[in-house]
């Protein structure tokens, strides 16, 4: 008796992760994880708009990684400072002139924040180190980009996301999705010397859960990717002419707490992005892609 279940050919990877016809938006899309996400989506048919403060970086990224073989596109959009509501409104309005809906928004823009390893046992030395190397302003800047901006970016694009749902758009309820970029740092108890960043990323994790519960009323899913060590400007402080960064495995091995003993591969990040973009049955989850670090570091 026929059950109407999926035939074997439906499980082909090219069908499972086909993003043809998808319209996606990625903040911080000109370098690092944002660019990896854009490449993975475009390679599988999506039209991907990348946002950022530096138009030159966005344009170089789009030009360097244009590949028509996948059927998708990488398109610069901006400039946009995600901490400014007027910038967000401006790019939303510009996008509304080009598209009637978007299928996925990735809130990826982020900053590292101040760093002062608390290694001193003497309280006076501990205070001196932190007091002289961190500031309230630097903490606030980190939180504004890594948490507050994620919230307002999601809210700004919500109508375009909901418009992807039938009968307005081509997709079913809960198909449109938001992916936040949190971090393994927001899931661990080790400060790694940067309290502000780890605290902010912990807040991003909680914000993701709150938005997933509240915004499902609008038919939009919200999940998060919590990366470990991946090559980006945040981890290497620079990128090349192709907007790519290099993170040698030896540098990761020296840390002594990465079971995989290497940095994450760009393709591995691409897999995570495609999974959360396409799997409509996943909502409110934090997907840690970190080489097993959280099995070793207290979390």
Confidence of residue 55 (pLDDT cuts 50, 70, 90): very high
Tell me the mean pLDDT in the region 167-174. Answer: 64
Tell me how far apart the alpha carbons of residues 129 and 211 are, in angstroms, rounded to a whole number.
37
Per annotation, catalytic residue among 197, 224, 239, 244? 197
Would the pLDDT of 88 be above 80?
Answer: yes
Gyration radius from the chain CA atoms: 20
For 100-149, the pLDDT digits (tens) are 999 999 999 999 999 988 888 999 999 999 999 999 999 999 999 999 99
CATH no. for 12-295: 3.40.50.720
pTM equals 0.93
Would the pLDDT of 2 be above 60?
Answer: no
Catalytic-residue membership of 182: yes
Residue 107's pLDDT is what? 98
Per annotation, catalytic residue among 40, 182, 183, 212? 182
Per annotation, catalytic residue among 40, 143, 185, 201? 201
Of the two residues 16 and 240, the one the predictor is more confident about is: 16
Confidence of residue 245 (pLDDT cuts 50, 70, 90): confident
- List all residues 6 or more positions away from 105 whose beta carbon is below 8 Å from its beta carbon: 24, 25, 26, 153, 154, 157, 161, 177, 178, 179
Element of type H or E holding 49? strand 47-51
Catalytic-residue membership of 197: yes
Residue 21's pLDDT is what? 93
| Of the candidates 245, 251, 275, the residue with the CA atom closest to the CA atom of residue 263 | 251
């Amino acid at each position: 008796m026929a059950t109407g279940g999926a035939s074997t050919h439906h499980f082909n990877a090219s069908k499972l992760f086909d993003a043809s016809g998808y319209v996606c938006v990625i903040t911080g899309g000109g370098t690092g994880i944002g660019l990896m996400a854009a490449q993975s989506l475009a390679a599988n048919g999506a039209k991907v708009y990348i946002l950022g403060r530096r138009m030159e970086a966005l344009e170089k990224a789009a030009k360097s990684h244009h590949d028509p073989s996948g059927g998708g596109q990488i398109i610069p959009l901006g400039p946009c400072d995600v901490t400014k509501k007027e910038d967000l409104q401006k790019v939303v309005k510009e996008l509304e002139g080009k598209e009637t809906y978007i299928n996925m928004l990735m809130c990826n823009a982020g900053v590292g924040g101040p760093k002062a390893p608390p290694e001193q046992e003497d309280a006076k030395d501990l205070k001196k180190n932190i007091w002289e190397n961190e500031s309230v302003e630097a903490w606030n800047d980190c939180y504004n980009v890594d948490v507050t901006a994620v919230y307002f970016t999601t809210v700004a694009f919500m109508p375009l996301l909901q418009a992807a749902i039938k009968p307005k758009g081509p997709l079913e309820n809960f198909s449109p999705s938001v992916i936040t970029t949190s971090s393994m740092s927001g899931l661990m108890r080790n400060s790694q010397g940067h309290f502000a960043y780890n605290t902010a990323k912990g807040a991003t994790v909680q914000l993701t859960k709150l938005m997933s519960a509240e915004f499902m009323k609008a038919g939009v899913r919200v999940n998060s990717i919590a990366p470990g060590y991946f090559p980006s400007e945040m981890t290497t402080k620079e990128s090349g002419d192709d907007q790519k960064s290099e993170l040698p495995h030896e540098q990761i091995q020296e840390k002594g707490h990465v079971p995989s003993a290497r940095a994450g591969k760009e393709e591995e990040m691409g897999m995570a992005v495609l999974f959360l973009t396409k799997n409509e049955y996943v909502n409110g989850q934090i997907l840690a892609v970190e080489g097993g670090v959280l099995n070793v570091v207290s979390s």
